[in-house]
Amino acid sequence: MKNIIFILLFAALNGATCEKEEHEVVRSFCYWKTDLNFQKEDDSLIRNLKLQHMYVRFFDVDWNPYAKEPLPVATIHDIRLNESNPEITPSIFITNEVVLQSNKKQLDSLAARIAKRVQIIGEKINETKADNVANSIVYPKDYYKQENYKRINYDSVKAIELGKLKVDFKEILIDCDWTEKSKDNYFYLLKQIKKGFPTAQISATIRLWQYKYASKAGIPPVDKGLLMCYNLTKPEDFNSKNSIGTSEELAQYITHDQYKLKLDIALPLYSWAVVFRGNQFKGILSDYDQLRNDSIKLKKISSEKYVLEDDVLIGQTYLRNGDEIRIEKISEKELEEMISIVKSKIKIDNQTKVTFFSFDKKYIDDYGTQNISSYYESF
């Protein structure tokens, strides 16, 4: 009888253990700026959040109507990594117009140019890393206090360290909001891009409509996808409650668990102010704190809407008396609910990257490093 009870107890405990699979996701952030310049405060954020990975926007590709061909634009510059060394995935944004307008020959050329530009940026990143190491060797801490300090030739040390490095990205992310009409060209381009990175995984962003209606949108010919769980409606829609997203809207898209690609997850961690004049969209303010704190010029008319009671200049944007402003941000409670929805349908394991958009001290301070860490842990 004791043996039977022991066996039943063991089975119950074992079953309970199997119900919740233990794993730690790969902690990631999106870095979507025109420079890659990490300061000491950025290093501190990376350490505190225990970040392992970053999607870094390397450049965009847009259709040039004058040249009538796709051309890279807004290439990242001023690359200074400081002490940080997270794994970097180059990210290339391609407009849908590019794949709609380009012919096969142009797409072949574009794939080759993408590979070449990624290589050039990778070499610049390695040069920064070699600089950092050479600095630490040639100028060790408190070197000027050392009596027997002998300066080594900096250039030779850097050359040696640079020789140890090679451009070897594990993954390349292609970001494009393709449509049914453009999917054939886009999928062809993805296959050509893969040829330029034979040892790397190719991933593609997956918008929520592409996930829900996979039979119409098609499954891109890549190694895995990055599911973009934000920007659910257009900010220029006056009637939208929150164009960044809501858990209610997210649940309407993540309705199945049959998507035929391994998926990483991207969630929103940013905010902005959407400006309307006479119900007409006028633009987006990313830096609106000064305005929001001005209780004299800004009158609150609902939980997320305000109206200006005076003309005001915010940065380079001139706003008028009577303009309506909608502050958009995902609340902590909403973000937790969104995570729950994702987990209910999408397989999460130790290789799953969970990334937040976007890496900016302003947004990270707004949510708090402890809260952000808890979001990672909740997966």
- Say if strands 224-228 and 262-268 run parallel, antiparallel, or are unpaired: parallel
Question: Given this model, what pLDDT does residue 6 score?
Answer: 45
pLDDT surpasses 60 at 12? no
Backbone angles phi, psi at 367, to 5 degrees: -85, -35
| Alpha carbon distance 203, 222 (integer Å) | 6
Whether the CA torsion 130, 131, 134, 140 is positive or negative: it is negative
Helix, strand, coil percentages, rounded to 5, for the chain: 40, 25, 35
Query: 340: which 2 tokens?
Result: 């729950």
**C-beta neighbour count of 200 within 10 angstroms:** 18
Query: How far does CA 23 lie from the centroid of its chain?
Result: 22
Query: 304: which 2 tokens?
Result: 């997320």
> For residue range 330-375, what is the model confidence (pLDDT) as tens digits?
999 999 999 999 999 999 999 999 999 999 999 999 999 999 999 9
> For residue range 63-122, what is the model confidence (pLDDT) as tens digits?
999 999 999 999 999 888 878 889 999 999 999 999 999 999 999 999 999 999 999 999
